[in-house]
Amino acid sequence: MLIASSLSNTPLLVRSLRLQKAVFQAIHALSMLVKAGVNYVARTKSLEWSIQHSLGNFECAVLLSKWLLTLSSIGPNDQPVSTDEKNFLEMIRRMLDETEFAVPIDPSLGGPAANPPSNMEALAGDSTRLRQLAAAVIRLWAETFKGTHIFDLVRVMGSSLDGYASLVEKPHDRAPMGRIAAEAGLG
């Protein structure tokens, strides 16, 4: 739970074109798992993977979830969700719809014709759904770590992702977390 707590406490990301490119690659990695079948990958391919595969998947899970949490924290004074970000959300939602981790999400959050929510209640609802989407993405990736692995570390990574997903699902009563400075991260 220490790793999960550390992941939960890392700051949100700074939205940028560079981050969008990284998010796109993470979505692509997720799509490969979904197309192959998450359980199939977990039970058969994990024996063929090197530790780099597991580390890459872990990193993609954290990046994609932090990006979704960053979008869930957008306030009225922040830059609205871009068309590309809406398209990414739609891609993620559609991928999850093909799995047992589907999350009902407001259609206005995805696709090019989407409009931003008009009031704070709608924004709060979107925030909750985006947090649910982040948790579902994390749990989906955690499934790939549940198969037989050569490295014991991989099981720790999977249980850490499960714990992180549980923390993401919990409503937060505290003020929003800070963001990673542009010069320190993917800004």
Angle CA 83–77–5, to nearest 5: 85
User: Is 121 contained in some domain?
Assistant: yes
User: Is 64 contained in some domain?
Assistant: yes
Q: Of the given ranges (50-54, 122-126, 143-147), which has the lowest mean pLDDT?
A: 122-126
Q: Are 129 and 105 in contact (CB under 8 A)?
A: yes
User: Is 153 contained in some domain?
Assistant: yes
For 166-171, what is the mean pLDDT?
A: 89
Question: Residue 111 above 70 pLDDT?
Answer: no
Q: Give the range of the structural domain holding residue 160, as residue numbers without chain letter.
A: 2-7+18-169
User: Is 185 contained in some domain?
Assistant: no
Of 113 and 76, the one with more pLDDT: 76
User: Is 68 contained in some domain?
Assistant: yes
Which two structure tokens, joined as six digits, stand for 158?
A: 């999977």
Summarize pLDDT for 17-66 with one digit per residue, the tens: 999 999 999 999 999 988 888 888 877 776 777 889 889 999 999 999 99
For 15-22, the CB contacts below 8 A with 24+ separation are: 15/70, 15/79, 15/85, 16/182, 16/186, 16/187, 18/186, 18/187, 19/67, 19/186, 19/187, 20/82, 20/84, 20/85, 20/88, 22/63, 22/186
Question: Residue 79 above 80 pLDDT?
Answer: yes
User: Is 58 contained in some domain?
Assistant: yes
Q: Are 26 and 63 in contact (CB under 8 A)?
A: yes
pLDDT recorded at residue 104: 64
User: Is 60 contained in some domain?
Assistant: yes
Question: Residue 1 above 80 pLDDT?
Answer: yes
With a CB cutoff of 8 Å and minimum separation 6, the contacts of 123 are 74, 76, 117
Summarize pLDDT for 98-110 with one digit per residue, the tens: 887 777 655 555 4
User: Is 179 contained in some domain?
Assistant: no
Number of domains comprising the chain = 1
Which two structure tokens, joined as six digits, stand for 52?
A: 């780099």
User: Taking the model in full, what pTM does it have?
Assistant: 0.79
